[in-house]
């Protein structure tokens, strides 16, 4: 057996099938898993972050940014109960003996950092050696990570994933996650559809009511969550504002926070600086599809798009459902034969 396949998808965002759960296309995901299960050779599936949407999932009806292991375990059980067919398909994929699944952490599923959550998923998937977790996946040629570590709003300290507050161990969430839970989740309830339209800056042009509501919340967040944070959230270590990161974002991108494509090049440069010498860098997180050989730096930049329900606004203002995308890397005798970004249909 000389063939090896690496398959990479990202931003699936499985939730608990409530109004905050944006994953809708279960058939497509099941078909995709079935397809890669039957692929000859050794198959590795990399779930490149935001596989689960813990972030927009209330805990027993309440949103909190103080996430204990108990809360994350409860949410994991809800996800497993909500998508039995997906977990069954993944178990079947793993039952073919050389196959493996690796989960990278994403900014919607930092809950995977808890050892108990990893054990629960390994148990559910039937094998604790073939299911692994990490900040990134890397081999000689490729570096695969979700992308939040090169996003100043979602960057975390990998040395300090947990924090103790009032004698409780909590997830040390980044400012972006805290902002969603405390401020922006209300927008999702009000504009569940508009929130799924990309690119964001065009969605704002087309839906002025959505833009106004978002601006109002953003101003509220800037005032209370950033400027007056030290008074309003006094003593709350999870709400600490990393002002230095925000300043870095402004230096890199100005006040632009919505046009995702503008951030991309700089993020690849930063990633290549952190993990030099790879042939390809593969990310998710941006909710767009991108495949380009960087002509100056001679590496391949790849971004996979989301698997949640999302629409792209065309120039004639028509909206179309985004295709589901995946990366396929084929190795033959330990050499890369091809590396593609493909649509799955
Ligand atoms: Mn993300």
User: What pLDDT, on a 0 to 100 scale, did the predictor assign at position 293?
Assistant: 96
Instruction: Return the half-sphere exposure (C-beta side, CA atoms, 13 A cut-off) of residue 177.
Output: 25
- With CA atoms as reference, report the closest residue to 33 among 83, 77, 106: 83
Q: At residue 116, does pLDDT exceed 70?
A: yes
User: What pLDDT, on a 0 to 100 scale, did the predictor assign at position 189?
Assistant: 86
Which class would CATH give 3-172+258-344? alpha beta
Gap from CA of 195 to ligand 1 centroid (Å): 15
User: What pLDDT, on a 0 to 100 scale, did the predictor assign at position 144?
Assistant: 98
d(CA 229, CA 225) in angstroms, rounded, equals 5
Gap from CA of 50 to ligand 1 centroid (Å): 6
Q: Are the CB atoms for 280 and 143 separated by under 8 Å?
A: yes
Gap from CA of 315 to ligand 1 centroid (Å): 26
Gap from CA of 166 to ligand 1 centroid (Å): 29
Rg (Cα) of the chain, in Å, rounded? Answer: 20
Gap from CA of 179 to ligand 1 centroid (Å): 14
pTM above 0.85, yes or no: yes
Gap from CA of 73 to ligand 1 centroid (Å): 20
Who wins on pLDDT, 225 or 257? 225
Three-state SS sequence of 224-266 = HHHHCHHHHCCCCHHHCCCHHHHHHHHHHHCCCCCCHHHHHHH
For the chain, give the mean pLDDT: 92
Gap from CA of 153 to ligand 1 centroid (Å): 11
Gap from CA of 134 to ligand 1 centroid (Å): 15
Looking at the chain, the whole-number percentage of residues with pLDDT higher than 70 is 98
Distances 190 to 55, 233, 279 between C-alpha atoms, Å: 17, 26, 43
pLDDT band of residue 316 (cuts 50, 70, 90) is confident
Who wins on pLDDT, 241 or 31? 31
Helix and strand counts by DSSP (H, E) for the chain? 11, 16
**What are the beta bridge partners of residue 8?**
46, 327
Gap from CA of 146 to ligand 1 centroid (Å): 7
User: What pLDDT, on a 0 to 100 scale, did the predictor assign at position 63?
Assistant: 95
Gap from CA of 49 to ligand 1 centroid (Å): 7
Gap from CA of 2 to ligand 1 centroid (Å): 34
User: What pLDDT, on a 0 to 100 scale, did the predictor assign at position 1?
Assistant: 59
Gap from CA of 41 to ligand 1 centroid (Å): 30
**What are the beta bridge partners of residue 171?**
162
Gap from CA of 159 to ligand 1 centroid (Å): 20
Gap from CA of 61 to ligand 1 centroid (Å): 23
pLDDT in tens, 131-188: 999 999 999 999 999 999 999 889 999 899 999 999 999 999 999 999 999 888 988 8
Q: At residue 326, does pLDDT exceed 70?
A: yes
Gap from CA of 96 to ligand 1 centroid (Å): 30
**What are the beta bridge partners of residue 253?**
none
User: What pLDDT, on a 0 to 100 scale, did the predictor assign at position 97?
Assistant: 83
Gap from CA of 12 to ligand 1 centroid (Å): 10
pLDDT in tens, 234-272: 777 777 777 777 777 777 777 666 677 778 999 999 999
Q: Are the CB atoms for 16 and 55 separated by under 8 Å?
A: no
pLDDT band of residue 219 (cuts 50, 70, 90) is confident
Phi, psi of 205 (to 5 degrees): -65, -40
End-to-end CA distance of the chain: 28
Q: Residue 320: enclosing H or E segment and its boundaries?
A: strand 319-321
- The mean per-residue pLDDT over the stretch 280-298 comes to 94
């Amino acid at each position: 057996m000389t063939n090896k396949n690496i398959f990479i998808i990202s931003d699936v965002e499985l939730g608990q099938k409530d109004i905050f759960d944006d994953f809708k296309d279960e058939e497509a995901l099941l078909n995709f898993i079935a397809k890669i299960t039957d692929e000859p050779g050794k198959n590795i599936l990399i779930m490149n972050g935001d596989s689960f949407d813990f972030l927009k999932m209330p805990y027993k009806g309440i949103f909190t940014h103080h996430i204990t292991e108990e809360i994350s375990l409860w949410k994991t059980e809800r996800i497993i109960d909500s998508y039995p067919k997906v977990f069954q398909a993944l178990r079947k994929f793993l039952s073919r003996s050389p196959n493996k699944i690796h989960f990278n952490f994403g900014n919607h599923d930092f809950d995977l950092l808890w050892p108990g959550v990893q054990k629960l998923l390994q148990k559910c998937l039937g094998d604790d050696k073939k299911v692994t977790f990490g900040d990134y996946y890397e081999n000689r040629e490729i570096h695969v990570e979700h992308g939040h570590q090169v996003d100043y709003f979602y960057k975390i300290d990998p040395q300090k994933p947990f924090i103790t507050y009032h004698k409780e161990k909590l997830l040390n969430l980044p400012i972006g996650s805290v902002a969603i839970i405390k401020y922006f989740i209300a927008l999702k309830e009000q504009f569940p559809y508009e929130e799924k339209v990309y690119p964001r800056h065009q969605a704002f042009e087309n839906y002025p009511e959505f833009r106004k509501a978002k601006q109002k919340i953003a101003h509220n967040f800037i005032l209370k969550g950033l400027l007056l944070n030290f008074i309003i959230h006094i003593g709350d270590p999870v709400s600490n504002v990393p002002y230095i990161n925000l300043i870095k974002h402004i230096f890199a991108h100005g006040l632009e926070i919505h046009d995702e494509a503008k951030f991309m090049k700089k993020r690849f440069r930063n990633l290549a600086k952190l993990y030099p010498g790879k042939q390809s860098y593969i990310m998710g997180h941006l909710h767009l599809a991108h495949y380009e050989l960087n002509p100056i730096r001679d590496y391949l930049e790849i971004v996979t798009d989301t698997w949640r329900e999302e629409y792209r606004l065309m120039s004639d203002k028509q909206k179309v459902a985004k295709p589901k995308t995946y990366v396929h890397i084929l190795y033959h005798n330990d050499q890369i034969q091809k590396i593609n970004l493909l649509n799955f249909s």
